[in-house]
Structure 1
């Protein structure tokens, strides 16, 4: 058994002060204590390795958090640009496509700086909330161009770095997509007087409301996937409410569309329950 060295008692004013990284601070009265002989034993090196490991972990977490916030901001800017589109199933205007491409290049540069930090087991050790925002942005872009929901495989292929998208990243991104679909449907309906996706001349076609209802039906029967407890149910409730808002919008256009003045914007905050409201009609 190795000899244990017991440090000598020090006076009250000679306590050791350390910074956030565990290094001893300089004291003008006694000089740098790190230069002096410090007591060591068989366990000292083990705890020093623990300290180094924790320092690396905290530095990595701060770096990933910074990149995640920047990628989130860029993904939101992509969505803001896409909301200026007014038609489905058509190529984007040149200025919007250029803006989206530039943002994606910036996202790629940022994610490349942490690609090695989230490899292997570390992929599940550090939260990458930005990937949900990224899926929301690229799925909205994909929907506007093709009127289809992007698959997990397609979303992974669109990610410009070798970072794995988890099922929860994908599903939570699709949850958020329904909110952008609701905003798009509201704006375009107010401008055109018809639901996006509907052929005005023939009154045929699959509308954005049909797509939202289908996505909602699938996600309601899908088992919860990862994330914090309660997050899935919360997003589910928000999505259902968003679908109901677009349903009321479609009802207003279909039943009373001719009475609406040009440029009319629906009240999306109209209550869905309470006195005088009945969601289902039961026929006797």
Structure 2
């Protein structure tokens, strides 16, 4: 005789299929909570897509910066091999921006701002490329137009790929044309915080560029000629100006901690280039070829971070 099966409370277990659970009770509030559930699911799905696109844009922007760090002097045209690399990665970024744009329209642009750190990295890459060509800082309005143009290029590239796919599937039968006028494509917009934090990070790349070019060429990077008759302007003067402007600015509308942290890193970058230039002028004749200064004495604050 087989034993009797009981559950954890000592009651006899029921043989056969389990009884169906009763349908949940519905009331006047049920539709409201169902809508909230759907909105939360949509929010988490959208945020996941934005984070993935942001990571890809950040990675490509960093690769652009790595390519630009191989430039050895400031001149209107980048070396062809470096320009080709930059253009190829910008084309990939354009497609990612085209996918990102519909997700961050309206209030969503600010709702997901913490997930859009990729735009600061993109600002850093674009401003660094502009500086290496012109030795000037690109204006906020011009940079916004550049990012919007990149988005439109990405939309056009995606549309072209879709048309090619439609042409290959034309044998399936003609599709009815849509008579409605299409809405203008959504674009990615930059905020002032994106611009300022990207410029903060630019000072770190300028410091690395100054260190590398001085070690390899023996002169501080800068313009080769001056129209006013004065000495050519160097990257040290540019960093002095940037540092002074940031010191005069009030704290931005974002996190005060993040602002002060980036400002401190900017101060360190300016000090490193100052020491780099002064050591070279004062003791330059004693330095062997390829000499790189030891800047560790200035690293007394928080470590510099790429964000």
Which TM class, normalised by the smaller chain length?
Answer: 0.7 to 0.9
1:1-284 correspondence to structure 2 within 5 Å: 30=18, 37-127=23-113, 128-159=116-147, 160-161=150-151, 162-197=187-222, 199=224, 204-271=231-298
Task: Report if aligned partners of 1:69, 1:130 keep a CA contact under 8 Å in 2.
Answer: yes
- 1:219-248 CA deviation, whole Å, 9 max, x = no partner? 111112233331001100110111000000
Q: Aligned residue pairs: how many?
A: 246
Taking the aligned partners of 1:237 and 1:177, their CA distance within structure 2 comes to 14
Kindly indicate which of the two structures has a greater share of residues assigned to helix. Answer: 2
Taking the aligned partners of 2:96 and 2:255, their CA distance within structure 1 comes to 25
- 1:129-157 CA deviation, whole Å, 9 max, x = no partner? 10000000000000000000111111111
Taking the aligned partners of 2:19 and 2:106, their CA distance within structure 1 comes to 44
Any stretches of 5+ residues in structure 1 without a counterpart?
1-10, 14-28, 274-284
Output the aligned Cα RMSD. 2.3
Distance 1:251-1:230 versus aligned 2 partners, 3 A rule: same
Taking the aligned partners of 2:20 and 2:78, their CA distance within structure 1 comes to 63
TM score, norm. by length of structure 2: 0.75
Taking the aligned partners of 1:186 and 1:31, their CA distance within structure 2 comes to 75
Which stretches of structure 1, 4 residues or more, deviate above 4 A after TM superposition? Answer: 29-33
Any stretches of 5+ residues in structure 2 without a counterpart?
1-6, 10-16, 152-186, 301-307
TM score, norm. by length of structure 1: 0.81
Taking the aligned partners of 1:114 and 1:247, their CA distance within structure 2 comes to 40
Distance 1:86-1:31 versus aligned 2 partners, 3 A rule: farther
Q: Secondary structure at the match of 2:104?
A: coil
Taking the aligned partners of 2:127 and 2:250, their CA distance within structure 1 comes to 21
Q: Secondary structure at the match of 2:44?
A: helix
Distance 1:41-1:158 versus aligned 2 partners, 3 A rule: same
Task: Report if aligned partners of 1:198, 1:204 keep a CA contact under 8 Å in 2.
Answer: no
Q: Shift of the alpha carbon at 1:12?
A: 9.7
